[in-house]
Structure 1
Amino acid sequence: MAQKIYETSNAGFSVTSKDKQSPFLLNNVKDIQKTSGIKNHNYRYDALGSLVDKKVVKVEQKVQINNPDKRLSNLVSLKGSTNTSLENDFTSGIFRIEKGRGLTDKDSGKTIIHEELAKANGLKVGDKLKIKGISINGGNSSGNGPSQGNVVSGKDVELEIVGIFSGRKSETNRGLTSDATENTVFTDYKSSQNAMGYSENDYKITASTFLVSNPKDIDKVIENVKKTSVDFSKLSLTKNSKAFDSISTSLKSFGNIIDVMTLGIIIGSIVILSLVLIFWLRERIYEIGILLSIGISKLKIIGQFILEVIMISVGSYIVSILLGKLTSVFIFKGIVSSASEVGTENVFKNVVPRLDIVNMFSTYGILLVIIGLSVIGTSLIILHKKPKEILTNMS
């Protein structure tokens, strides 16, 4: 489970423009994903889009634009992404997929939209919508709201809705309908570039995120990235390992506690089972004496007792698996609810305690060892005596 938590901590780094506002060419950072130790990546492009055949969700605007361009009346926030499961809005729990699925790097002509936008247009998973990229060049802010600058239209692209998400995030107020969370649209990365009218050699990104295979090696991976041909003079690299750093120390302490508890449970199980078996064997001492007197070997008698206990343990183990699954989830939820940091909490929420086949067999293997040691230890208390001595003591 610890390894699963490490994997879902999404430790890695992001690369953005030092300008923060300006997008940069995808070709500038594509070599990074080839670096050893990087397991996944996400390229994001933030822009504006105009719904061609649908309407946006109308919200009250706190800022008004004087004489707005008609092309700005039906705007959505257009977010191109190669993998929405790696988007901060989704990993942090701000947004959540309610129907369908998210976007991957294998998608083309796909989109996921906010549930309020879907409701306003009667849309569902499988439906299609058209969107046109919009860019505003040369705009600036003033007391009466942002000026329009030079509005440039891209191309119409038809997108299939593969998912519907919910959630709300903090909003900026620029007097545009795209400011509203409800008017947020995620598309696959290629579609966002097509909507803006970019050719493949001119594909742009606003930010890129790279995840490392082993969070413990993140510094080494970053060092290797800086040795690539990527020009970082205009780019900023930021390490994203806050969630991993927060949980790594806790997991080590938790692991030590688990080790001590496991050892204690094993020792306690041997002691308790041995005491139970002592009383159990005392009730069968006459049977033991008879078996020994007719020539049944002590080894066979011990083997029979072990087999009987194993048969009982099978049913008990099945019940313990069912009860253990319920109690482990309950305890784990308690740990998650007490998490102090949002990022850390969401890492734990993505991990559900599971007892896989390997763990089930290894756990039962430990149980068999406990049974063997307990039965042998308690049986020898009686079996070291001769049959006549056992029967004499009975009489």
Structure 2
Amino acid sequence: MTTMKRAWLYVRRNKKRTILLFLLFTVLITISMLGLALNMASKNTVKELRGSIGGYFTLEVGADGTGKTNEALLNQIKRLDHINKYNGIDMYFLRAEELNLLPGLYDGTGTTDEFTSKMFGCTDTSLHERFLSSSFQLIAGRHIIESDEHKAIISKEVAQLSGLSVGDTFTVRTKDDLRSWNSEAGYFETKLEIFGIYQATRSEPVRPGTPEYQLQENIVFTDISTSKQLYQVKFPDRSPEEYQYSSGFMLFVDDPVNIPAVVADLKQQSFADWDSFVISENSAAYQQAAAPIQKAETISFFLLLVILVISIGILALILLMWTRDRMTEIGILISLGISPMGIFEQILLENYITAAAAFLVSIVLSILLSSSVGRLVGTLATQIHVGAGQMLIVLICTTAVILITVFLASIFIMRKNPKNILADLS
């Protein structure tokens, strides 16, 4: 009788043991497939998230620095590896009498400060820190990009108080007594079209002495072209190439992991005196979004590790007990001329036959349960998928675990002389 036939007969005749082993294999294999699928889904989601959100670092002129955050510097930095997006920011103050700002310190005084807004000219307003951190959320219209001209984004509160909506316009202008304005420069006035409306999602503490231009709801975002036009009026003796982004640059890296290396590479470049600048790394948006997914990835990894250790332990214990209970059978097989290696192969095949059936059932169970497990974990990686890759890995691991456990359970057979085994039976 062949080894395979002996193994098949044992599986058929010992139904209770076979069913128990089948259930154990099914549970362990199903959990392994789901854990591996969740782990891989989490890794893929984190990888996609790194690419979609990225991280960034800011570059500004230091308090005592002599550097310039101008177009020439920006064009040099944009050429560096891993930098895929940027946002140049210019902060300034203009009078906007057609906007009804939220009242502050100067409410009712009729002074310029009562109508003054803090304005941020951006090459891409969607990349401003307020929107990246979700403290501001665009609720109408769209964001301003570098090619836009004379556009603005205002808050929901200011829009309601002013009776304005997307598509309406308002005038902004300068005055000699306006904050941070050079009184010897020319006069600037332009109309801005409301391109979008934002809503503040987080409250900020407001004191009785807070001026209007410091209230977050009174912030106005504009296009960078308007900022450059204002710069030419403010500094008529300077060329357009000398325009500086007063609040520096936000430089986005394709993968947050690369930020330290990119910053280090930047500081090695010779086209600027980097001691004149303040460089701050920021990957908070990515970290906030990735945290729950990385938690799921860690959980699934330890789950797989625990399953592997428990599987080997439980199977080895069960098979050791069952193998010792089969000493009479083993003695008979030895007396029939079957070697210890042949007995080991039979026990191994018995387990592989049972595991094969459990593996097929586990495939169906893991596919059916995958969506439920994703929802239970509650991360962005909820759509986990048990694919051929995961099945192959679990199959290889299951084969190896069974081989190890059967070897551990049968090692006393392999080490004993057949005569000693027969002597123990007598």
TM-score by length of 2: 0.56
Q: Please name the residue that 2:3 is paired with.
A: none
Instruction: Give the distance between the partners of 1:306 and 1:48, measured in 2 at CA.
Output: 73
Quick check: 1:87 aligned with 2:128?
yes
Q: Please name the residue that 1:25 is paired with.
A: 70
Instruction: Give the distance between the partners of 2:393 and 2:177, measured in 1 at CA.
Output: 68
In structure 2, runs of 5+ residues without a counterpart are: 1-42, 234-238, 316-350, 405-426
Q: Please name the residue that 1:264 is paired with.
A: 306
Q: Please name the residue that 2:373 is paired with.
A: 324
Q: Please name the residue that 1:193 is paired with.
A: 228
Tell me the alpha carbon deviations over residues 178-203 of structure 1, each in whole angstroms, 9 at most, x when there is no partner: 23222111123223333555674343
Query: What secondary structure does 1:205 align onto?
Result: coil
Q: Please name the residue that 1:68 is paired with.
A: 111
Q: Please name the residue that 1:162 is paired with.
A: 196
Q: Which has the larger radius of gyration?
A: 2
Paired residue type of 2:227: S
In structure 1, runs of 5+ residues without a counterpart are: 141-146, 274-301, 333-351, 378-395
Instruction: Give the distance between the partners of 1:23 and 1:117, measured in 2 at CA.
Output: 34
Instruction: Give the distance between the partners of 1:217 and 1:369, measured in 2 at CA.
Output: 35
Query: What secondary structure does 1:238 align onto?
Result: strand
Q: Please name the residue that 2:99 is paired with.
A: 55
Paired residue type of 1:132: V
Tell me the alpha carbon deviations over residues 53-106 of structure 1, each in whole angstroms, 9 at most, x when there is no partner: x322241x336898835xx54322211112334322233333233344444445
Contact residue 16 and residue 237 of structure 1 kept, 8 A: yes
Quick check: 1:34 aligned with 2:62?
no
Q: How does 1:68-217 map to 2 (within 5 A)?
A: 68-69=111-112, 72-105=113-146, 107-124=148-165, 126-132=166-172, 134=174, 153-167=187-201, 168-169=203-204, 177-195=212-230, 197=232, 200-206=240-246, 207-217=248-258
Instruction: Give the distance between the partners of 2:167 and 2:402, measured in 1 at CA.
Output: 66
Instruction: Give the distance between the partners of 1:35 and 1:314, measured in 2 at CA.
Output: 47
Shift in CA distance, 252/327, structure 1 to aligned 2, threshold 3 Å: closer
Query: What secondary structure does 1:204 align onto?
Result: coil
Q: Please name the residue that 2:14 is paired with.
A: none
Query: What secondary structure does 2:55 align onto?
Result: coil
Shift in CA distance, 223/263, structure 1 to aligned 2, threshold 3 Å: closer
Q: What is the aligned counterpart of 1:353 among 376, 381, 389? A: 381
Instruction: Give the distance between the partners of 2:122 and 2:60, measured in 1 at CA.
Output: 15
TM-score by length of 1: 0.60
CA shift at 1:364, angstroms?
5.0
Which is richer in helix?
2
Count residues with an aligned counterpart.
Answer: 324
Shift in CA distance, 73/254, structure 1 to aligned 2, threshold 3 Å: closer
Instruction: Give the distance between the partners of 1:176 and 1:58, measured in 2 at CA.
Output: 10
Tell me the alpha carbon deviations over residues 336-370 of structure 1, each in whole angstroms, 9 at most, x when there is no partner: xxxxxxxxxxxxxxxx335466x755445546667
Paired residue type of 1:205: Y
Paired residue type of 1:262: L
Q: Please name the residue that 1:297 is paired with.
A: none
Paired residue type of 2:168: K
Q: How does 1:204-353 map to 2 (within 5 A)?
A: 204-206=244-246, 207-228=248-269, 230-232=271-273, 235-241=276-282, 243=284, 258-265=300-307, 316-329=365-378, 332=379, 352-353=380-381
Shift in CA distance, 245/78, structure 1 to aligned 2, threshold 3 Å: closer
Shift in CA distance, 202/174, structure 1 to aligned 2, threshold 3 Å: farther
Shift in CA distance, 154/265, structure 1 to aligned 2, threshold 3 Å: farther
The percentage of counterpart residues that share the same residue type is 16
Tell me the alpha carbon deviations over residues 101-149 of structure 1, each in whole angstroms, 9 at most, x when there is no partner: 444445444432211012223334x423234253767969xxxxxx996
Which is richer in strand?
1
